[in-house]
Amino acid sequence: MTPASPTSLSRDVLEGSRKALAQAITLVESGTTADRLKAESLIEHILPATGKSIRIGITGTPGVGKSTFINAFGSMLLAAGRKVAVLAVDPSSTSNGGSILGDKTRMTDLANNPNAFVRPSPSRGVTGGIAPRTREAVLVCEAGGFDTIIIETVGVGQSETAVAAISDLFLLLVSPGGGDDLQGIKRGIMELADIVVVNKADGPTTDLAEQTAGDYRTALHMVRPKHPGVTTEVHTCSSTTTQGVLEVWEALNTLHSRLRDSGYLGQLRATQLKQGLTTELQLLLFDQVLSQPAFVSERERLEQAVANGRMSVSAAARALLQTANLVR
């Protein structure tokens, strides 16, 4: 894939080369075994230079203003001297080639700034498989000197959970008057949120945004608090005028410091890594099993047996693993 060796690539990443950064992320996203081995070597080299950033996951339904918000939020951080990387996890990228790809057009201020790095979504077959690769992309960005990592995902399906599993803090962006949103957003997503931000608090939707914020505050009282004793804050902002965006950052930064000082952040990251190991094991096992020729033909046969109701799903799965010599 890339002619550079993992050692020289990691050195270039650590020296701040954007080209190397982009290449390294392509490498960690690659699905081939040869690249995976190189990626593992790369990560090993850069690991000591990682972990110092603030990792912020952002989700919200399509059109809520994620890209516009990230552009405003990121620009403000750049002005404050921070280095901002934006990574996208797009659950739909497998089917339509990546809608987040077009988002660079809404993040022009970021895309054109040398202290910012915007990376569209990887397209990998399995949703569960995106998070481990994005986790590594986060590490690469940290090694490249980025101190703020924003991981964006569209609020559909399981991708929020995947993003929350690699973020320190999770921001839920919602629309004014989003009564639909409030019902549509699953309880679980509210429980994942460290902060809820009602966007588009400008022009004719200013008052509605305040009302919606009130609705969310009420709704949040009914879900388990994310952090014991800490009420999840609900803010309003306008990503187009940037009103309120600074306050969102201040809230996130304060919470991050608090969680770090209390030891929670260290524990959270340790837990995330342990869960990451389980996910990697699942992926590796799946890849190994699927690549066995005997397995492929037996799978087709057993799929038919299951579809015809001649065999239970569980018994077929066990029989398949026996084919691959993985269970007795």
Ligand X SMILES: Nc1nc2c(ncn2[C@@H]2O[C@H](COP(=O)(O)OP(=O)(O)OP(=O)(O)O)[C@@H](O)[C@H]2O)c(=O)[nH]1
Please work out, in degrees rounded to the nearest 5, the angle formed at the alpha carbon of residue 86 by the alpha carbons of 46 and 215: 130
67 contacts Mg ion (rule: CB under 5 A)? yes
**Total interface residues for Mg ion by CB under 5 A:** 3
Three-state DSSP at 122 gives: coil
Of 20-28, 66-74, 157-165, 174-182, the segment contacting Mg ion by CB under 5 A is 66-74
The sign of the torsion formed by the CA atoms of 321, 302, 91, 38 equals positive
How far is Cα 142 from Cα 140, in angstroms, rounded to an integer? 5
The interface partner of residue 62, options being Mg ion, ligand X, none and the CB cut-off 5 to 8 Å by kind, is ligand X
| Position among 12, 29, 103, 215 found at the interface with ligand X (CB under 6 A) | 103
The strand pairing partners of 84, in sequence order, are 116, 148
Binding-site partner at residue 121 among ligand X, Mg ion, none, CB < 5 to 8 Å by type: none
- β-strand partners of 25: none
Q: Which of residues 62-81 bind ligand X (CB under 6 A)?
A: 62-68
Residue whose CB is nearest to ligand X in the complex, by number: 65
197 in Cβ contact with 236 (< 8 Å): yes
Residue 97 site contact among Mg ion, ligand X, none (CB < 5 to 8 Å, cut-off depends on kind) = none
- Whole-angstrom distance, CA of residue 185 vs CA of residue 187: 6
Calpha distance 277→230 (Å, rounded): 30
Give me 24's structure tokens: 């390294």
Task: Give the C-alpha separation, 193 to 198, whole Å.
Answer: 13
Provide the 8-state DSSP code for 99. G
Residue number with CB closer to ligand X (10 or 67):
67
Is 2 one of the binding residues for ligand X (CB under 6 A)? no
Contacts of 61 (CB under 8 A, 6+ apart): 154, 155, 156, 174, 175, 181, 184, 185
Q: Which stretch binds ligand X (CB under 6 A): 9-17, 58-66, 266-274, 299-307?
A: 58-66
Q: Which does 178 bind (CB under 5 to 8 A by kind): Mg ion, ligand X, none?
A: none
Choose which of 12, 29, 90, 103 interacts with Mg ion (CB under 5 A).
103
**Close Cβ partners of 257 (under 8 Å, ≥ 6 residues apart):** none
Q: Which does 64 bind (CB under 5 to 8 A by kind): Mg ion, ligand X, none?
A: ligand X
- 202 interacts with ligand X by CB under 6 A: yes
Amino acid 110 reads: L
Could you tell which of ligand X, Mg ion, none binds residue 199, using a CB distance below 5 to 8 A set by kind? Answer: ligand X
Comparing CB distances to ligand X, the nearer of 203 and 228 is 203
Is residue 199 near ligand X by the rule CB under 6 A?
Answer: yes
Beta-bridge partner residues of 60: 154
133 or 200: CB nearest ligand X:
200
Select the span of 43-51, 190-198, 234-242, 294-302 touching ligand X (CB under 6 A).
Answer: 234-242
Partners of 196 in the β-ladder = 172, 234
Options 75, 134, 148, 239; binder of ligand X; rule CB under 6 A: 239
| Span of 95-103, 198-206, 209-217, 286-294 interacting with Mg ion by CB under 5 A | 95-103
Q: How far apart are CA 74 and CA 178, in angstroms?
A: 25
Query: At its nearest, how many Å lie between Mg ion and the CB of residue 184?
Result: 18
Residues at the site binding ligand X, with contacts judged by CB under 6 A: 60, 62-68, 103, 106, 154, 199-200, 202-203, 238-240
Residues at the site binding Mg ion, with contacts judged by CB under 5 A: 66-67, 103
